[in-house]
Structure 1
Amino acid sequence: MPRRRIGFWYRFAAVICKPPLVLLLKRDWRGMENIPAEGGFITAVNHNSHIDPFAYAHFQYNTGRVPRFLAKSELFKKGFVGAAMRGTGQIPVYRESTDALSAFRAAIEAVERGECVAFYPEGTLTRDPDGWPMTGKTGAARVALQTRCPVIPIAQWGANELLPPYSKKPRIFPRKTHHVLAGPPVDLERFYDREMTPELLKEATEAIMAAITRQLEEIRGEKAPDTPYDPRRERIEQRRKTRAQALREGIQDDDRAAAQEEGLGK
């Protein structure tokens, strides 16, 4: 299937975005040979800075296979931003949809048209204290198993040093390096021809996240934690601690009340 032309809007966005990216970030980009030359595919990318979508898009643009990001549908309705989102072929996600597969139908259609669809499987900036990928959401795995397209794991590092997670103040000096390593397609064949249960999607997602993490280990020259940070598990643990604290405070209040009553009774 022939690749889609980049088009005016993507080239216009590149003219605006590339100069400041080139100025602010040196580049160490590897693995471009793993980006398919033809046909639809998914890239699954880690997320550790508010500016890394731009830095990653720069890498992807230079491969000749521009990414189509998933974005909330409201952005497609707002003036110049909406026109740019539509013109660059980004994919609206309708959050009001109650059917999980319907929310990604446009992504499936884009892959089947031969597009590159970019997923941030974590769904948000990583909350891992050391910047490692968290557990992922199942959207990328769902689209991959539905279409049986290649899933290219991509790790990036460096944009987070320019603009740390949840920070509004960039650290411009010294000039940072944006490292990108694109790996070979994730082997998902063992998940084909099986019922798409939550357990299957979770297992396929873990395979995708493990591949991204291996790429990031190579970039950083470090070993990632054996267990990825899980924000859901963290929330559960925090609620448990809050309940335990409330229980302890309740017991202490009861003890104080009992002591006061005993004092009054003497």
Structure 2
Amino acid sequence: MTRQMDGQIIFLKNKTIPIDKYESLSRRYNFNKIKFLPLIKHTNLPNEILSLFNDLSYLESLKYIIVTSQRTVECLYLEVIPNLTLEQTNQLFNKRVYTVGPATGEFLRRCGFKDVIGDEMGNGNNLSDMIIDTLNPETAGQFLFLVGLIRTDIIKNKLLNAGYNVKEVIAYATEPLDNNLRHLQEEIDVQQENWVVIFSPQGITEIIEYLRDHHSHNIKIASIGPTTEAYLLKHGITPHVSSPKPSPESLLQVISSYE
């Protein structure tokens, strides 16, 4: 049975559009307040993707796309798909898309992609292993990997080392916003429990210094993903909970079970 939560939950991320599953699921747990605090600014960079997809021969030959970020899906949803012809859109939606995490997978399906797999993989390392175990590099053709300007190279390097052809195209850029720590301090409610959910190491330098040096009984820290947890541990912060999967369901379950 779901435990009902008191206090507020603060997600250190941009709210996903058009639907953010973290918000909708948090309401079921009866948090008094649900807040989103963006730490980074996203700038969509659709031009190179559009150039590729406007080449119908390329689009017809492309079999596989890799998308691991909701920001990439937003770029596709807002700035790529609306500028394609019906024929191009139909071609695109029938491509197999590899992803990690249920939230990104569900967003891709809502956009119209019909063949999305990898939701349960959880991270790029596992996704790479799944691709290597199931596809022959000699017959797979080229993978189109849509990435952010700042990214790790785990997937690309593992696939390249295994003999796959991977074309990497940047879909968006990010940069930290100003005064992230001050904005978080303004959102903390000293009269109740505050769960602070950290999604990424980007934009949190001052925040983790503050959390490490100003322990507070009414602030609890949740981490999503092994990369973020490792970053926090390296900088002297042990999160109260760490979501075993990068999904709203997994996150809210570990928070609700925390005692």
TM over 0.5: no
Question: TM-score, normalising length from structure 1?
Answer: 0.32
Looking at CA atoms only, which structure, 1 or 2, has the larger radius of gyration? Answer: 1
Relative contact order, higher structure (CA 8 A, sep 6+): 1
Point out the structure with the larger helix share.
1
If the length of structure 2 is used for normalisation, what is the TM-score?
0.32
Determine which structure has the larger strand proportion and give its number.
Answer: 2
